[in-house]
C-alpha cells in the first residue's frame, strides 16, 4: 500500500483542490490571462531579439573584422575581450531586469489567476 495515498491523521485531506481541465481552458481563453501573456511577451521578445542581435554582432565581428576586434584599448586588453565580457554583463543585466519585471508585473497577475482558480475548485 502506498503511503502517499493515505489520508492525513484525523481523516481530513488538507491538500488544495485541483482545478478541472475545463477551468484551465476557461482561464487560458480569458482576457486576464491574455493580458498576462501580452505583458510577458512585450518584455521577453524584444529583449531576446536584442540579445541575439548583439551576440551575432559579436560573432560576426570576431570572424570578419579581426583587425577591429584586435585593436588594443589599453595594455593587453583589446576590443574582442571587452565585447566578450560585455556578453556576460548583458546576460546578467537581462536576468536582473526580467526578475524585476516579473516581480512587479507578472507575479501579481499570475497570483490573482491562481488564487481565483484554487477558490473555484
Q: pTM here?
A: 0.73
Query: Does the pLDDT value for residue 3 go beyond 70?
Result: no
The rounded distance, in Å, linking the Cα atoms of 119 and 77 is 59
User: In the chain, what are the domain boundaries?
Assistant: 35-120
User: Among the residues of the chain, which ranges form H helices?
Assistant: 21-28, 31-64, 66-69, 79-101, 107-120
Dump pLDDT digits (tens) for 23-65. Answer: 888 888 889 999 999 999 999 999 999 999 999 999 999 999 9
Of 23-32, 80-89, 102-111, the least confident: 23-32
Rounded to an integer, the average pLDDT of 13-27 is 76
Amino acid at each position: 500500500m502506498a503511503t502517499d495515498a493515505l489520508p492525513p491523521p484525523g481523516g481530513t485531506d488538507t491538500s488544495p483542490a485541483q482545478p478541472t481541465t475545463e477551468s484551465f481552458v476557461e482561464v487560458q481563453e480569458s482576457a486576464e490571462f491574455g493580458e498576462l501573456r501580452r505583458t510577458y511577451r512585450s518584455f521577453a521578445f524584444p529583449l531576446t531579439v536584442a540579445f541575439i542581435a548583439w551576440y551575432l554582432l559579436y560573432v560576426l565581428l570576431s570572424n570578419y573584422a579581426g583587425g577591429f576586434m584586435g585593436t588594443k584599448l589599453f595594455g593587453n586588453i583589446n576590443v574582442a575581450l571587452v565585447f566578450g565580457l560585455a556578453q556576460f554583463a548583458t546576460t546578467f543585466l537581462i536576468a536582473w531586469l526580467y526578475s524585476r519585471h516579473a516581480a512587479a508585473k507578472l507575479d501579481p497577475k499570475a497570483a490573482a489567476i491562481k488564487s481565483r482558480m484554487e477558490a473555484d475548485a
